[in-house]
Amino acid sequence: MNLHIPNRFHVTTVVGLQYGDEGKGKIVQGLASSGLYNISARFNGGPNAGHTIYYKDKHKVVTHVIPTGVIAGIPINFIGPGCVVDPVLLKKEIEELMALGINHKTIYLSELVHLITPYDRKIDAEMNKAIGTTGRGIGPTYAHKTHRIGINIALCLEKGSEELVSEYFFKLADVYRQDWISVSPKDHEEWIDSLDWILENINIAKKNFFFSDGEAHGLLRGDPIPLVLAEGAQAIMLDNTYGTYPFVTSSNCLPSAVYSGLGLPGNAKLEKVIGVFKAYNTRVGEGPFSTEVLDGVAEPIRIAGCEFGSTTKRPRRIGWIDLAELRYAVELSGATELYMTKADVLSPRVVDEVRVCTSLNSGGRPRSWKTFEPFVTTGVKKPMHINGSLHQFIVFLEEQLGQHIPKVSLGVLADDLVSTRAESVR
């Protein structure tokens, strides 16, 4: 008998270090296109996420739950058990990809994902106004999963979705006792039809997907080592436990969530943790934001950085890097490397100076700052081009955060990701 289960998984995870929208989608797209990975996966969150990427450098695509690897042609794109999925939105997302000629047959949806229903969306909209959620039903769906009244795909396949969703409605009516818990027959039907479409058109992955006798190994036949690129959604400061609770999302956003969120064995190797942060900071929704800019400096940054929610279109709140907070996220994530994005936004056309908050007062507002000249980034394509205040900024952050920043993003296209040192050109 072979008692040894070999440790064969190698995992890279990409997580946001601020409040989401750090530009993870673009970073993941670059990694997915590198040819280094054969599995791309989402392990947390759902359609609250919005990752903006450019397909073939021209078509703007916003993915919500589909792993970015689909677009880069990775052979297995797994939506893991840690995610929640709304069949209506997932169907629309897949149809958009199909319209661009992208192969959706590489998507594997775990039978353990919990399903967001129109009821969950309604509960989110009615009860979570103070948090400023995306209104996608994320919190209620995770809550009902934990409350053991939720619906997952495995249960739908076993019992039938029509019957389950009616049962779910009665349970919710009992729990909430609110007369607004109802949905129109049209929404109900659309949900059932979309789920049926997904069950017919998308591969459903069993809970043993990554086991030695599971489907993933079979699919990787000629390429036996699973090299997983795990794409985090939301960010450390929105983590349900370690973020600015209660102004957080409802899933775990830490790199360690890849284990439970994908069903990976505990001895899988989390080799690389790439922490992504913007050269400034944004937040969408309510909650504390120490460095928030409340004067006229915010609007030019919002416009230059297109800082409007990719899921909800809400204008994002604008602020600067809070060094202590970023250090907290770097430590907690265990980031092995840091990628800084959107440095090009802080150009002399947009700002008079770039700020980093170096300490807060007892009221949680900035007490001291370090300032830099705006960044001139036109024509910066190689490490040797990075000089002046951008170079000073990178060196300062590396010293303060105790971690390297091998790459900096200076635009929306894949080509705009520049290595900061000759030795990190890969």
Distance set, CA 308 to CA 196, 299, 312 (Å): 33, 11, 8
Q: Which stretch binds Mg ion (CB under 5 A): 18-26, 169-177, 254-262, 416-424?
A: 18-26
Characterize the bridge pairing of strands 10-16 and 227-231. parallel
Residue of 10, 21, 352, 415 marked active site: 21
Position among 23, 30, 67, 139 found at the interface with ligand IMP (CB under 6 A) = 139
Whole-number minimum distance, CB 125 to ligand IMP, in Å?
Answer: 10
Using rule CB under 6 A, residue 152 touches ligand IMP? no
Picked from Mg ion, ligand IMP, none, the partner binding residue 285 (CB below 5 to 8 A depending on kind) is: ligand IMP
Q: Which stretch binds Mg ion (CB under 5 A): 102-110, 133-141, 307-315, 380-388?
A: 307-315
Whether 416 sits among the annotated catalytic residues: the reply is: no
Cβ-based neighbours of 100, under 8 Å, separated by 6 or more: 55, 59, 61
- 278 alpha-carbon distance from chain centroid: 14
Secondary element (H or E) of residue 53: strand 51-55
Secondary element (H or E) of residue 367: strand 366-372
Q: Which bin fits 101, alpha (ψ -120 to 50), beta or left (φ > 0)?
A: left
Using rule CB under 6 A, residue 131 touches ligand IMP? yes
Three-class DSSP category at 203: strand
Closer Cβ to Mg ion, 38 or 240, answer by number: 240
The amino acid at 330: V
Position among 13, 14, 17, 21 found at the interface with Mg ion (CB under 5 A) = 21
Q: Which of residues 318-347 bind ligand IMP (CB under 6 A)?
A: none
Picked from ligand IMP, Mg ion, none, the partner binding residue 319 (CB below 5 to 8 A depending on kind) is: none
Whether 51 sits among the annotated catalytic residues: the reply is: yes
Tokens 């170079």 locate to 391
Q: Which residue from 97, 27, 88 is spatially nearest to 62, judged by alpha carbons?
A: 97
Using rule CB under 5 A, residue 226 touches Mg ion? no
Q: Which stretch binds ligand IMP (CB under 6 A): 126-134, 258-266, 396-404, 415-423?
A: 126-134
Name the CA dihedral angle for 378, 383, 389, 390, rounded to a multiple of 10 degrees: 80
Residue nearest to ligand IMP (CB): 285
Residues of the shown chain interacting with ligand IMP in the complex, contacts defined by CB under 6 A:
19-21, 48-50, 131-134, 136, 138-139, 233-234, 238, 249-250, 284-285
Which amino acids are annotated catalytic? 21, 51
